[in-house]
Amino acid sequence: MEKFLLLVLFLLINAMGPLMASGNKLTVGDQHGWNPNVNYTEWEKKHKPFYVGDWLVFYYQAGQADVIRVDEVGYNKCDASNPISNYSKGRSYAFELNETKDYYFICSYGYCYGGMKLHVKAQKLPPPPSSSPSKSSKSGAFSAVGSRLNGLIGGLVGSVILWVV
Ligand SMILES: *[C@@H]1O[C@H](CO)[C@@H](O)[C@H](O)[C@H]1NC(C)=O
Ligand SMILES: *[C@@H]1O[C@H](CO)[C@@H](O)[C@H](O)[C@H]1NC(C)=O
Ligand SMILES: *[C@@H]1O[C@H](CO)[C@@H](O)[C@H](O)[C@H]1NC(C)=O
């Protein structure tokens, strides 16, 4: 009996895993990283929506770039003289989007050195049980498998609970 309860717990936790995930880690620029001559507007389009709790991870060449968080004016003008935050150590920087708002980052080397500027809007995470399109729905086949799997797990949990009761 105890084993079955453990199994139920295990399956429940597995089924809830995706809902409880504490945010995605997104590599800014994907394989290109935070470097000149990458169109970060396109990167943003490809990866949105962004949610509160997501992390942006910037990878750059040590000493060749920095990550300056600025306001919208600073972003539009490529002006790093009023930074909200300034990061330039090492070769990577992880930043959590912890509030629902617009975030702007630029590289202060040169005039946004080769287009190194990024604007993302962090949205509130949609409430878990709703059927609103989730992040994974962007890759259709994958989410189809995912929801089928969830259905399967849900069914399993349901039948095990019924069996136990
Ligand atoms: C980046 O891509 C956006 C949207 O696809 C486009 O409007 C913009 O002109 C591009 N920027 C550069 C510097 O190529
Ligand atoms: C960022 O901080 C470093 C070290 O504190 C400083 O040398 C640099 O000028 C700052 N850059 C900007 C754009 O504020
Ligand atoms: C988000 O992070 C910033 C910088 O670490 C902090 O000042 C701010 O209070 C945080 N906001 C929330 C809602 O946690």
Ligand 2 atom 5, closest CA: 86
Burial zone of 23 (CB within 10 Å; 0-12 exposed, 13-18 middle, 19+ buried): middle
164 has a pLDDT exceeding 70: no
Tell me, using a 6 A CB cutoff, whether residue 98 lines ligand 3: yes
Tell me, using a 6 A CB cutoff, whether residue 99 lines ligand 3: yes
- Cis amide leading into 49 (omega within 30): yes
- In the numeric block, which tokens belong to residue 18? 């995706």
Q: Which residues pair with 86 in a beta bridge?
A: 68
User: Considering only 19-33, 73-87, 95-109, which range has the smallest mean pLDDT?
Assistant: 19-33
- Mean of per-residue pLDDT scores for the chain: 78
> Whole-angstrom Cα distance, residue 162 to residue 47?
41
When comparing pLDDT for 2 and 144, which is higher?
A: 2
Closest ligand to Cα 44: 1
Give the C-alpha distances (Å, rounded to integers) separating 132 from 34, 123, 124, 153, 159: 32, 14, 13, 20, 27
Q: How confident is the model at residue 151 (pLDDT cuts 50, 70, 90)?
A: very low
